[in-house]
Structure 1
Amino acid sequence: MPPRILVFAGSIRTGAFSGKLAACAAHELAQQGAEVTRIDLGDYLLPLMNEDLERDEGIPQNALRLARQIAGHHGFLVATPEYNHSIPPLLKNALDWVSRVKRDGERPLRPFENKVAALCSSSVGQFAGIRAINHLRAVLVACGVEVTSVQCSVGHGGEAFEEDGTLKDERSRKTLTKVAQSLIFHARTVAALETN
């Protein structure tokens, strides 16, 4: 059985470099045999994380929907942009809300439990989102996610992609291939645990 991999970007801006990179990653994962689901965080918009809101109104439905998506896959790949040397608020807020999900109705739900993630980043500058990807890694590790060591960062995002959305740079393409290989390898281990 092929591992199930969820892919999403940390930005919902039209033409976002992270969205283009997520599309490249989804294609590469599928080429290597993964069962890929691509989602858009714009379909899971959430209020700012607030424990008073959680207490008074409960977990927002979109947080529960996103938690179900993550829980339903063996691993996930996030492509993040860099905002002020860190991850964007949209992505951080989504992860914070999902980390609060403990139940789905009557049954327990731990969306990040036994999950593996791979990370990619992109930016307009030469640093390619490296600072953001390091912050994202720290957040996911804090949530209990195993994060693969192989990562792909694409700089000068405005010139990095062909008109068809593929990466121009051969080095970036090869790195993305390695990211996909590593994620699939680790996700297969998760899948094997699921069947035992």
Structure 2
Amino acid sequence: MIQDKPLVLGIGGTPRRGSSSERALVISLKAAEDEGARTLLLSGAELLLPMYMPGQQQSDQASRLLAAFRECHGIIISSPAYHGSISGLIKNALDYAEELRTDTRAYLDGIPVGCIACAGGWQAVGQTLAALRTIAHSLRCWPTPLGAMLNTSGALFDAEGNCTDAATRRQLETVGQQVIDFVRMQSRGRLGAHSLSINTMVQP
């Protein structure tokens, strides 16, 4: 059941393995796992997709991304800041969600989304987080109350990818926890409404 093992999809990073945005995403996904979620990480080379074009035949990698979009119950997106906004790699991956426009669940309607922005300064990281939230709204998602902002001008991760800054680690873990919490609250609400409608119908 969704309450037991919801799927949280992680999208982020750069073509370079071990980037700060990928390491941040891994920590948030681990926090969701610790709360009982299944997780799927698509990062780096897995997001090197052809430029999105409506109606084009999908590559195997694009088909995998679309299948993950359709199956997931929550998403965490982690992007580096390139010139004051999200990277082209992440934007292109999210553009593929246009293929979901005619699905029963159009786009990513109702999905909770955790947003993580990484930059070498506070101005760029704030703008990038705002861009991620705007895109999430456009795809009919619900951004989590906390969005993680990482100023990578200082060292935040060790060689093994562990976050060495306690405040940053708490941010990343909270993002993952809020995504799974929202999924479960949403599921309980829908089940409760369904039960209420059945009980109402059988009342004498």
1:99-151 deviations in whole A, cap 9, x for unaligned?
23346xxx756351231111111122344722111111101101111111211
Structure 2 residues not aligned, in runs of 5+: 195-204
Equivalent positions of 1:128-147 (< 5 A) are 129-147=125-143
Distance 1:108 1:155 in 2: 39
Distance 1:155 1:45 in 2: 25
Tell me if the contact between 1:46 and 1:94 (Cα under 8 Å) persists in the aligned partners. yes
Once the two structures are TM-superposed, the CA of residue 163 in structure 1 deviates from its matched residue by 2.2
Deviates more, 1:118-127 or 1:133-142: 118-127
Equivalent positions of 1:175-190 (< 5 A) are 175-190=171-186
Structure 1 residues not aligned, in runs of 5+: none
1:82-108 deviations in whole A, cap 9, x for unaligned?
0000011111111112223346xxx75
User: Are 1:29 and 2:32 an aligned pair?
Assistant: yes
Aligned residue pairs, count: 189
1:22 alignment partner AA: L
- TM-score under structure 1 length normalisation: 0.83
Once the two structures are TM-superposed, the CA of residue 61 in structure 1 deviates from its matched residue by 5.0
- TM-score under structure 2 length normalisation: 0.80
Q: Where do 4+ consecutive residues of structure 1 move more than 4 Å?
A: 58-61
Query: Secondary structure of 1:136's partner?
Result: helix
Q: 1:68 to 1:110 in 2, by over 3 A?
A: farther
Distance 1:110 1:161 in 2: 37
Q: Quick one: percent identity of the two aligned structures?
A: 22
Distance 1:77 1:99 in 2: 18
Q: 1:44 to 1:123 in 2, by over 3 A?
A: closer
1:162 to 158, 161, 174: 158
